[in-house]
Amino acid sequence: AKTANSIAAGVEPEPQQPGDRSLPHGHGPREFEPRLKKLMQAHAAATETLAAVTAAQVDLHEHILDEHAKILLRISEAFHLHQRVKELSHVIRAHHERVVGLEELAQAL
């Protein structure tokens, strides 16, 4: 039987004996070595690129987490300031009511 590669190349495959596991002529390890080497080089380059991208993602995520922590700290500080303003507002209101009460008392005297 002809293989697709042998038909495309115009080469007849050598007949194989039953149980023969060798590759047909032109399909041995030596013929694949250059392609395999190129594939391995491409794989190594892709692996390096993936490692660089992954490292960049880790750096970016760390930066995002740092910025997020800063934002949360600012929100916390703003909340505490808001609480303090509310407390002081109650104190001012109480003093104002006292002053008004004292003014009314002074006018009554």
Q: How far apart are CA 11 and CA 61, in angstroms?
A: 56
Q: CA angle 13-16-18, nearest 5°? A: 155
Per-residue pLDDT at 70: 98
From first to last of its 109 residues, the chain has per-residue pLDDT tens of 455 555 555 555 555 566 655 655 566 667 788 889 999 999 999 999 999 999 999 999 999 999 999 999 999 999 999 999 999 999 999 999 999 999 998 998 8
The answer to whether the predicted template modeling score (pTM) of the entire model surpasses 0.85 is: no
Per-residue pLDDT at 33: 86
Terminal CA-CA length for the chain = 125
Residue spans per domain, the chain: 24-108
Q: CA angle 33-35-38, nearest 5°? A: 105
Per-residue pLDDT at 90: 96
Per-residue pLDDT at 31: 76
DSSP for 34-87 reads: HHHHHHHHHHHHHHHHHHHHHHHHHHHHHHHHHHHHHHHHHHHHHHHHHHHHHH
